[in-house]
Structure 1
Amino acid sequence: MSAVRTLLGQRVRRDWRQLLLWTIGTALLAYLAYVGVAQSYGTEQDRAALLATVIANPVILLFRGLPSGADQGAFMLFLIFPWLAFLAALMSTFLAVRHTRMDEELGRTELVAATPAGRITPLVATIVHGLIANAVLAGLTILALLGTGAGSQGAVLSGLAVGAVGVTFLGVGLVAGQLMRTSRGANSLAVWVVLVTFLFSGIGNAAGTPSADLQRMESSWLTWLSPFGWGENVRPYADDNPWPIVLCLVAGAVLVAVALALQSVRDLDQSFIAERRGRADATRSLRSPTALVWRLTAGALVGWAIGGLLTGMLSTSLASVVDSISADNPAVDQILTAMGGSTDLARATVSIFFVLLGVLAACWAVQIISRARQEEVAGTAEPLLSTPIGRVRWLGDYLIVGIIGIVVVVAAAAAGAALGIASRGGDWALMQDVAVVGGGQAVAASVFLVLTALVFVLAPRATIAVGWGLVAIATIVGLFGPLFGFPTWLVDIAPIAVTPQVVAGGIDLRGLGWLVAIAVAGAAASLALMRRRELAPAG
C-alpha cells in the first residue's frame, strides 16, 4: 500500500492543475446551465413548447439529452447533461492513457517496475487516481447544482451520473492503453469510442418513442449501447432512477479488470495491436521536414475531417427541417436566434453547427502543436534539429500543416453542407452562409493554433493543458453562452463566437479584424521567440 500511496501522490502532483480545470469547469458549466435556463426559459410553458418542437424534430436530439419533462431541473439536464458527461469522459480517458501508455513510452514505467512496486502497482495507482478525479468532479457538480437551489436528490443523482460515466471511460482509456503501441494511438482509440458512443446515445434518443404530449422521450435500444445513454436514463429531477449509475460503475469495473488482466500478461513497451510496419526507405514525399510533419499527423486529420463532413451535412439538412416547421413556435425562434445570431432560422441553424465546426477545427489546431511537444518530449525532435533544419523552420512546419488541416476540416464541412442541401432539396443560397461562416471559423481556429504555439514556446510543459483548456473555455462561452444568457462581452471573448455572418444587408464581419490580427501577430511572435528557446524535456 505504501507504493500505491507514493505513486498516487506523484500522479496528483503532476495532474492537479489539469484536474482543477476539468472538474471546476464541468461544475461551472452545470451551474451556469441552470441559471441560464431560469433566465431564458423561466416559465413551464416556454420549456414545454421547446420540448414539443424538439421531439417533433428528433434530429435535434443528436446533440441534446433525453427529454424527461418541463420541470426546470429536468429541462436543464436535457440541454446540458451529454456535454457534462462528455467532459468527464475526455478527462478520464486522457488521464488513463497519460499514466499508462505514455509513461511506458517515456521509460517511466520500466524504472518503477524495477523497484519493489513491480508492474501492476502503477496501474492500480492510476485506477485509484482516476476514481478520485471522478469523485471530485461528481462532488463539485453536486455542489454547483445545490448552489442553484435545485432539489437535493436530483442534484446528487446528476453529479453521480456524470461521475459514473467518467468511471466507465476511465476503463476505456485503461484498456486502450493496453491495446495500442503509442499514447497517440491509445488516445485516438479512446476518443473515437467516446465520439461513437456519444453518437449512439443521440441517435438512440432520436429514434425513441415520444409521449403523447411531446414532453418526454423513451430511448430506443441503441441508447443502451452507450454510457452516455445510461447516464441520461437516470433522469434526475424526473424519475430519479439510480440503476443506470450502477450499470456505469459495473461497466467501468469490468473494463478495469480487463486492463489489469492484459497488463499481467503483456511485456512492457509491447501492445496487443501491433503498429503498422513502415517502409524500409522513405518515399519522395518525405524529402522535406514539412512533409514529415504531414505524414505524422495526416491520420488524425482524417478523423477531424470526417467530423467536419458530418457537421456540415447536419447544418443544412436540419436547417431545411427547422425552417419549415418552426415559423409559429416562439420557443424555437428564441433558442435558435440566441445561439445562431440571426432571425432567419435556417441561417441561424447553419451558424450554430458551424460554431461546433470551429470547435472541431480548434481541436485539430491544438492537437498538432501538442504533437510538436510530444516529439520534443520523446526525444525525436532533437535528431531532426541537429541537422541544418533550425528551430524556427521546425515550428513553422507545424504551423503550416496546422493551417492546411484547418482548411481541410472546413472544406469537408462545406462539402457536407452541399450534400445536406442536395439530399433534402434545400435552399442553395445557404451555401453563401456556409462559405462566410466557415471561412470565419477557419480564422478562429487559427487563433487557437497560434496561441497554443505561443504557450509551446514560452511554457512548453503547459502546452497540452493550456491548449485544450482554451478550447474548453471557448466552447462553454461561445457555444452555450448565448443559450444561457451570458453577458455579450463575455461571449465575444470566444473566437468561435465572433466570426462573420450573412445578414439581410450583406455580410457582418463582426470580430474578423481582431481575429486576423491575433493570428498573424501570434504566428510571428511564436516563430521569433522560438529562435532562442532550448529544447525542454518532460516535466
Structure 2
Amino acid sequence: MSAVADARVSPRSRGSAHDLAGTGTLLRLALRRDRIMMPVWVLCLGLTASSTVGRLKSAYDTPQRRADLVHDMNGNGSTRALFGAAFDDSLGALTVWRVGAFLTVFAAIMSLLIVVRHTREEEETGRQEALSSGMVGRRAGLTSALLAVGIANGAVTLLIAGSLAGQGGTGALALGLAVGLSGMAFGGLAAVAAQLTENARLARGLSSALVGVAFVLRMAGDAAEDGSKGSGHVLVWLSPLGWAEYARPYADERWWPLLLIAVLAAASITLAYSLVGRRDVGASFYASRPGPPTAGPLLSGVYGLGWRLQRGALLGWAAGFVFAGAIFGGISDGANDFLGDSEQTRDIIQRMGGAQGLNDAFLAAMVGVLGTILTVYTASSVLRLRGEETDQRAEPLLSNAVSRLRWAGSHLVIAYLGPVVILAIGGLALGLGYGIAAGDLAEQLPRCLGAALSQLPALWVLTSVTLFLVGVVPKYSAAAWAFVGWVVAIGWMGPAMELSDSVMDTSPFSHLPKLPGDEVTAAPFLWLLLLSVVLAAGGLVGLRRRDIGG
C-alpha cells in the first residue's frame, strides 16, 4: 500500500467509522457500472419462476396429471439429480421443483461476479489504491460490493415472491428467500476468495468451483435418495444449495434451513471483513512465491509465460471435470429401467438429451451440462489477454522482440486447446463411471469420450466471440460474460422452460447433435468451426491495429 494510503488507514482508525468512509460514493459507482448487467440478471431470475407457472398450468392442467408427474419424477434418480425432489403436486411446488435449483445456482453466479468485480478486480487494476489515497476507508470497497450484491439479491427475492404470490404468499416468500440468501452466501464466499487470492481471475475461479461442488453434491445426493420421503441424503445437507432445496417452498415450509444459509452468509462476510483489515491493498494472503532465478525449458519464452499464467486454471478445471464426470456417469445407469409408459418423464429428459433411449438421453444432457459450464473457463482464458493489458504487463513484452500475435497466441493456445484436454478427461471419467455401472466399459468409454469432445466447436465459437470483443471493442470485452451467462441459462433452463427453437438456437450448443445416441452429420460441426475461425480472425486483426491498453 502506498504511504499516503497507510496514513489514511492508521491502526487507530481500524474498525472505526473511518474504515467505511466513502462507502456511499463507491456504492453509487458500482451501481452505475452495473446498471445494465445487474437489472438483466435480476429480471431473468425473477421472471423465470412466474413464466414457468403458466407453462406448467397448461401442460398439467388437472390434479391427477400433476400427481402422476410428481410420482414419476421422484421415482427416477436421473431426474432428481437434474431438478431435485418434488415435495408436493401444487403448481407452486412444481415450479420450485422445475426451476428452483437453477435459480439458486444463477443467483450464486451473479453474486460472485459482482463481488469479485468490485473488490479484487479493483485492486488488481490499481484503482482501489488510488481511491484509498483519498478519503476512502479500508473496508469501503468491500462494503460497497456487498451492498450492491445485497441490493441485487433483495430485488430477486422481492420479484420472485411477488410473481408467485398468487400461488401462495408463504411459499413464494420461502422460495424468494432461498434464492436471495443463497446468492448472499456465495457472494460472501467470493468476498473471502477475493482476500485470499492475488487476482480476479483466480478469485472467480475459486468461487465458481465452490458453486460447482455445491451443485454436484446436491445432484449426487438427490440421485441417491428421494428426499421427499425422508430427511434427505447426507450429500445434499453438505451443500448450501441443498439447504435451499430442503426449505421446501409450497410444501410445509421449513424455515430453519434458510437460517443455515443466512449463518453461512454472515460468517463468510465477517471473515472477509476480518481478512481485508489484515493485508495491504493489492496484496493477498496467498501470493505467488518467487520462482527460481532461471526458467526451465517449459517456462522460457512468451509461450512458457502463457503456460505459467494459465496452467493453474487448466489443472483446476481438469480436476473438477474428473469429479463431475464420474458422478454423472455413475447416476446415469438405470434411467431406462424406470421409463415404462411415462410420457412425462420421456418428454423432460429427451428435451434435454435427445430422442434416443433414456440412458443415452441423460448422458447427453450431462455432456451438455459439462460443455456449457466449460464456457466459463474459455472466456476467462481469453479475457486474461485483456487483463495483461490493463495491468500494464503486456507492454513491456511487446516492447521487446515479441509480436502482438505471438503474445496473443501464448494465451490463445491454452484457451483453444485447454478445453480439448478438460473435455477429454471429463469424457473419460463419465465413460468410466457409466461403463462400470452398466457393466459395458469397452463400449461406453469411447462413446462418452466422443460425446464430450463433440462440444468443442460450440465452445470454440464462444472463445472466438470473446477474442473478437477483446480485439475489436476491448472496453466492452466484459460483455463476454453476458454471453456466457445466456448460453449457460439456455442450456440448463431452456428445456425445462420449453423455450422456442428460435430462442434455443441463439446458443451454439443447440446446433450440435445430442451425443451419445443422436445421428451425427458434419454440417453443424463445420459451420460452427467456420464461424469460430471468422470471429477469431476478426479479433486478431483488431488486436494488431488498435492501441495496446486502449
CA pair 371-36 structure 1, distance change in 2 beyond 3 A: farther
Structure 1 range deviating more: 249-258 or 442-451: 249-258
> Which residue in 1 is equivalent to 2:186?
169
Does the 8 Å CA contact 2:116/2:194 hold for their aligned counterparts?
A: yes
Aligned partners of 1:506, 1:225: CA distance in 2, in Å?
A: 39
Question: SS of the counterpart of 1:342?
Answer: coil
Query: 1:340 aligned to 2:353?
Result: yes
Which of the residues 510, 513, 521 maps onto 1:500? Answer: 513
Count how many residue pairs are aligned between Structure 1 and Structure 2: 530
- 1:360-407 deviations in Å (ceiling 9; x for gaps): 332221111121111111111111222232223322333322121111
In 2, the alpha carbon distance for the partners of 1:348 and 1:485 equals 17
* In 1, Cα distance between equivalents of 2:194 and 2:310: 20
SS at match of 1:332: helix
Is it true that 1:110 corresponds to 2:124 in the alignment?
Answer: no
1:304, 1:360 within 8 Å by CA — same for their partners in 2?
A: no
Structure 1 residues 384-399: aligned runs within 5 Å: 384-399=397-412
Alignment correspondent of 2:27: 8
Post-superposition offset of 1:250:
3.1
Give unpaired runs (5+ residues) of structure 1.
none
Cα separation, 1, equivalents of 2:320 and 2:490: 21
Secondary structure of the 2:242 match is: helix
| 2:465 is the counterpart of 1:451 | yes
Q: 1-side partners of 2:548 and 2:163: how far apart? A: 42
Structure 2: tracts of 5 or more residues without a match: 1-19
The residue aligned with 1:119 is 138
Q: Which has the higher mean CA deviation after the structures are superposed, 355-364 or 243-252? A: 243-252
Rounded to whole Å, the distance in 2 between the matches of 1:502 and 1:65 is 24
The equivalent residue for 1:202 is 219
Provide the C-alpha distance between the structure 2 equivalents of 1:377 and 1:9, rounded to a whole number of angstroms.
23
Alignment-derived partner of residue 338 in structure 2: 325
Q: Partner of 1:24 in structure 2?
A: 43
Please say if residues 236 and 243 of structure 2, whose CA atoms lie closer than 8 Å, have aligned partners that are also in contact.
Answer: yes
Please provide the CA RMSD for this pair: 2.7
Equivalent of 2:369 in 345, 353, 356: 356
Tell me how far 1:2 sits from its aligned partner.
7.0
Amino acid at match of 1:456: V
Q: Residue 222 of structure 1: CA displacement? A: 4.2
Counterpart of 2:206 in structure 1 is 189
1:229 aligns with 2:242: yes
Which of residues 430, 454, 466 is equivalent to 1:440? 454
Aligned match for 1:404, one of 417, 421, 441:
417
The offset of 1:332, in angstroms, is 2.0
In the other structure, the counterpart of 2:16 is: none
Q: 1:79 aligns with which of 94, 98, 109?
A: 98
Q: Is the 8 A contact 1:501 1:508 kept in 2?
A: no
Q: Which residue pairs with 1:58 in the alignment?
A: 77
How many Å apart are 1:356 and its aligned residue?
0.9
Describe the superposition over 1:132-178 as per-residue Cα deviations: whole angstroms up to 9, x where unpaired.
121122223334445xx533332232222211111112211222222
* Equivalent residue number for residue 99 of structure 1: 118
Q: Quickly say closer, same or farther: Cα 1:86–1:314, change in 2 above 3 A.
A: same
Aligned residue for 1:78, secondary structure, equals helix
**Letter of the aligned partner of 2:493 in structure 1?**
F
Aligned equivalent of 2:251 = 238
Distance 1:310 1:510, change over 3 A: farther
Task: State the shift of 1:11 in Å.
Answer: 1.3
Aligned to 1:490: 503
Cα distance in 2 between the residues matched to 1:179 and 1:205: 32
2:87 pairs with one of 44, 65, 68: 68
After superposition, the Cα gap between the structure-2 partners of 1:414 and 1:167, relative to the gap in structure 1 and judged at 3 Å, is closer
**Contact preservation (8 Å) 2:382, 2:411:** yes
- Aligned residues of 1:175 and 1:259 also touching (Cα < 8 A): yes
After superposition, give the CA deviation of every residue in 1:334-361 in whole Å (9 maximum; x if it has no partner): 2122221223222211211111122133
Closer, same or farther: CA 179–362 of 1 in aligned 2, 3 Å: closer
Aligned twin of 1:519: 532
Listed one character per residue, the Cα deviations across residues 448-503 of structure 1 (whole Å, up to 9, x for unaligned) are: 00011111122223223x22211221222233323322112221221112212469
Q: What is the letter of the counterpart of residue 134 of structure 1?
A: N
Q: Does the residue aligned with 2:520 lie in a helix, a strand or coil?
A: strand
Deviation per residue, 1:62-94 (Å, 9 max, x gap): 432343122222122122212111111122222
Residue 291 of structure 1: which of 290, 294, 304 is its match?
304
CA distance in 1, matches of 2:285, 2:243: 29
**Distance change (3 Å), C-alpha of 1:277 and 1:500:** same
Matched, 1:150 2:167: yes
Contact kept? 2:83, 2:99, Cα under 8 Å? yes
Contact 1:39-1:485 within 8 A present in 2 as well: no
SS of structure 2 residue aligned to 1:284: coil
- Deviations along 1:5-54, one digit per CA (max 9) or x if unpaired, are 21111111222222123222222433343344334444444444444344
Q: State the one-letter code of the partner of 1:31.
A: S
Residues 36 and 483 in structure 1, CA contact (< 8 A), matched pair in contact too:
no
User: 1: distance between equivalents of 2:493 and 2:422?
Assistant: 22
Q: TM-score when scaled to structure 2?
A: 0.88
1:257 corresponds to 2:270: yes
Specify which of 69, 80, 88 is matched with residue 107 of structure 2: 88
CA distance in 2, matches of 1:305, 1:33: 35
Residue in structure 2 matching 1:463, options 464, 477, 483: 477
Measure, in 1, the Cα distance between the counterparts of 2:409 and 2:212.
Answer: 31
What code does the residue aligned with 1:521 have? V
Q: How far apart, in 2, do the equivalents of 1:177 and 1:7 lie?
A: 17
Contact preservation (8 Å) 2:78, 2:362:
no
Aligned counterparts of 1:142 and 1:311: Cα–Cα separation in 2: 33
Q: Specify the alignment match of 1:247 in structure 2.
A: 260
- 8 A Cα contact 2:77 2:335, kept in partner: no
Correspondence for 1:128: 147
| Distance of 1:288 and 1:154 partners within structure 2 | 59
Greater Cα offset, 446-455 or 163-172: 163-172
Conservation of the 8 A alpha-carbon contact between 1:82 and 1:232: yes
Give the structure 1 partner of residue 285 of structure 2: 272
Shift of 1:441: 0.9
Give me the identity figure in percent: 31
Amino acid in structure 2 at the alignment position of 1:103: E
Checking the alignment, whether the CA contact within 8 Å between 2:447 and 2:516 is kept in structure 1 is no
SS at match of 2:135: coil
